[in-house]
Structure 1
Amino acid sequence: MCITVVGSINTDVVALTDDYPQRGETRFGNSIDYLSGGKGANQATSVAKLSKGVKIIGAVGNDLYGDRLIDSLNENGVSTHFIKRSNTFSTGTAIITIDQTAENTMLVLKGANDDLLTDDIEKAFENINDSDVLLVQMEVPQDTVIRAMQLAKHKGMQVILDPAPAEGITVKALEYADVITPNRQETNHLIGIDVTNIETAVSAAKAFENMGVSNSIIKMADKGSVVYRSGHWEYIEPINVQPLDTVGAGDAFAGAIACSISDGYDLVEAAKFANIVGALKVTKLGAQTGIPTLNEVHAFCEERGLTCSQLEATR
């Protein structure tokens, strides 16, 4: 079985700087790169690099940037058969600034991502019969995401919602999610709880359960994460690394979660695996180029003395 991802496909314009400019201020940066990105494409690439079959349903413009993004996905082993070429919008773009602490700010211009419509989802799902997991985020239209989740449930697929970015979240999507993986900002946006420690993370997970989602992973960045399953929770400690680029870390994490669930692992084991993948990602530059392969994950674990069931099974 394979994984289907519905989501955004963007060109990332990435600028590195020592410090962010203040409002109205001009500063000189250190470097600039033009990279493949978009939360949907990042997550699909994560799945492919972790040696799992994956299809993406998304949209790019009928332009050179769209050509390059499709080529990049194909090179990484992602099936691009269901990517729409929009004649109405240009390819989506994210303008990203990363400072010396590896934190980032983003300005996303959705472009062709807004042209991924419910009709496109329905046509694609008519031809998808070999996926057991759907992975979605919120950088394409809400109706499109919800329709994909509805059709996935009808086909008996497990639905994972990475409710990002916070600005795009709709509470209605929670109705069709089997698992959600929000970070601090997304949790606060959805339910008004500021997750600062294990206690507040558990409270947030219980609040999500009251809203109908009994399985969640509440991410706390460098403070680790809390896995919640129908009233029971477990804390996953962070892995200390020297960060270079946090862009795409959550997407690498989500892709790893999808791989584990597709392979039959429980949510705790999935989170342990994703924790390792996400930690390794932040040590590398690029939302997709920095996503580690399964071999790189094995090497990282051997170096750090890390283990999890998912990795033991792939040795």
Structure 2
Amino acid sequence: MKSIVVVGSINMDIVATTDQYPVHGDTVFGHSMQMFSGGKGANQATACAKLGKQVQLIGAVGRDAFGQEVIRTLTENNVDISLLTYTESKATGCALVTIDKTAENTMLVIKGANDELREEDIIEKFKDVEAGSVLLIQMEIPSKTILQAVKLAKEKEMFVILDPAPAAGVTIEALQYADVITPNAQETYELTGIKIDSIESAYKAGVYFDHQLGVSNSIIKLGSKGALVYQKGKTFFVDPIPVQAVDTVGAGDSFAGALACAVAEGEALESAAQFAAIVAAMKVTKPGAQKGLPTLEEVTAFCQEHGLNGYRTQLQ
């Protein structure tokens, strides 16, 4: 059993719900506004912790009210925050999220303190990182910081899961250090120029990642249509889990966190991706990127209730 280290962003999410998004220059009325702890790094670390894994989070927050709240939430969810960086120069990151009646979301992210996580911070923090563990990383922090983390991870013989999200922050150079990447359709298009609308197009993208970018393993997420696991030319399709979506914020993060948990337990990518798909499906049925994340006990109960006993439902 390997430990998990997450390097990534920490934000406060301000979430508004409405029937439809306003067009440019328009004003529409919404239904509700709530504040949730978020950020891709914090979401993924929390997903791991709620699934019962020991996880260290490396990230940066400001010394402000938002920072205090996200720290409280992380601690409450049993995430190890001993490797965090605190900054006076910028406020804690913030995401303005709008969710429409289809449960899809748009985000405006203010990186804030996340931009203060530097290469030297990574070098210092990695002194306390266990060799041979799993690194889970995304792209809401500076590109040089990302590169420093994945390079040190390979020196420590860690298994690197790289979630190339958001699409606007993709650092292609970092891909060569990843053991597996987990892009969604938008991120895949950003990286390959291939529009993902079918299993066949996802396979073409997997081939592109392998032959053009040197990434031999990828899990291409197709949203409600499932996911394609590509491994050095071989593929495995992960069937979608039908649920009634309420909030898709954090769905990809829950997938990545669950994947890291299963990989840390020695699972093959196929079964790890199946487990991750179940966790992500459960997450979208509840509001809040972190609040809506399921525990392992809830995942087990969900599988039993929905006849998913063929999937891996237990982590040690």
Q: Which TM bucket (shorter chain)?
A: over 0.9
Output the CA distance in 1 between the equivalents of 2:44 and 2:182.
Answer: 13
Output the CA distance in 2 between the equivalents of 1:253 and 1:219.
Answer: 9
Which residue in 2 is equivalent to 1:265? 267
Deviation at 1:310, TM superposition (A): 3.3
Equivalent pair of 1:43/1:252 in contact (CA under 8 Å)? yes
Output the CA distance in 2 between the equivalents of 1:307 and 1:266.
Answer: 17
Residue 30 of structure 1: SS of its match in structure 2? strand
Q: Which segments of 5 or more consecutive residues in structure 2 lack a partner in the other structure?
A: none
Runs ≥4 residues deviating over 3 A:
none
Which residue in 1 is equivalent to 2:133? 132
Equivalent pair of 1:149/1:177 in contact (CA under 8 Å)? yes
Deviation at 1:312, TM superposition (A): 4.5
* Superposed CA offset, 1:95-122 (max 9, x none): 0000111000100000000000000000
Q: Which segments of 5 or more consecutive residues in structure 1 lack a partner in the other structure?
A: none
1:244 equivalenced with 2:246 (yes/no):
yes
Deviation at 1:2, TM superposition (A): 1.3
Which residue in 2 is equivalent to 1:298? 300
* Superposed CA offset, 1:64-89 (max 9, x none): 11111111101101000111111111
Which residue in 1 is equivalent to 2:179? 178
Residue 244 of structure 1: SS of its match in structure 2? coil
Equivalent pair of 1:137/1:164 in contact (CA under 8 Å)? yes
Output the CA distance in 2 between the equivalents of 1:130 and 1:45.
Answer: 22
Alpha carbon RMSD of aligned pairs, Å? Answer: 1.0
Deviation at 1:22, TM superposition (A): 1.4
Deviation at 1:8, TM superposition (A): 0.2
Equivalent pair of 1:265/1:310 in contact (CA under 8 Å)? no
Query: Counterparts in 2 of 1:151-230, with a 5 A limit?
Result: 151-210=152-211, 211-230=213-232
Which of 261, 278, 282 is residue 280 of structure 2 equivalent to? 278
Deviation at 1:307, TM superposition (A): 2.6
Deviation at 1:90, TM superposition (A): 0.5
Deviation at 1:131, TM superposition (A): 5.9
Equivalent pair of 1:93/1:111 in contact (CA under 8 Å)? yes
Matched to 2:209, the amino acid is: F
Which residue in 1 is equivalent to 2:258? 256
Which residue in 2 is equivalent to 1:95? 96
Output the CA distance in 1 between the equivalents of 2:66 and 2:52.
Answer: 26
Output the CA distance in 2 between the equivalents of 1:307 and 1:92.
Answer: 40
Equivalent pair of 1:18/1:99 in contact (CA under 8 Å)? yes
Equivalent pair of 2:10/2:60 in contact (CA under 8 Å)? yes
Equivalent pair of 2:48/2:258 in contact (CA under 8 Å)? yes
In structure 2, relative to structure 1, the CA distance for the partners of 1:130 and 1:172 (3 Å cut) is closer
Q: Count residues with an aligned counterpart.
A: 314
Which residue in 2 is equivalent to 1:48? 49
Which residue in 2 is equivalent to 1:113? 114
Equivalent pair of 1:104/1:247 in contact (CA under 8 Å)? yes
Residue 175 of structure 1: SS of its match in structure 2? helix
Which residue in 2 is equivalent to 1:148? 149
Output the CA distance in 2 between the equivalents of 1:131 and 1:89.
Answer: 34
Output the CA distance in 2 between the equivalents of 1:41 and 1:232.
Answer: 32
Equivalent pair of 2:18/2:98 in contact (CA under 8 Å)? yes
Equivalent pair of 1:3/1:262 in contact (CA under 8 Å)? yes
* Superposed CA offset, 1:224-249 (max 9, x none): 11001111001111011100000000
Deviation at 1:130, TM superposition (A): 5.8
Output the CA distance in 1 between the equivalents of 2:62 and 2:225.
Answer: 39
Which residue in 2 is equivalent to 1:57? 58
Output the CA distance in 1 between the equivalents of 2:162 and 2:178.
Answer: 6
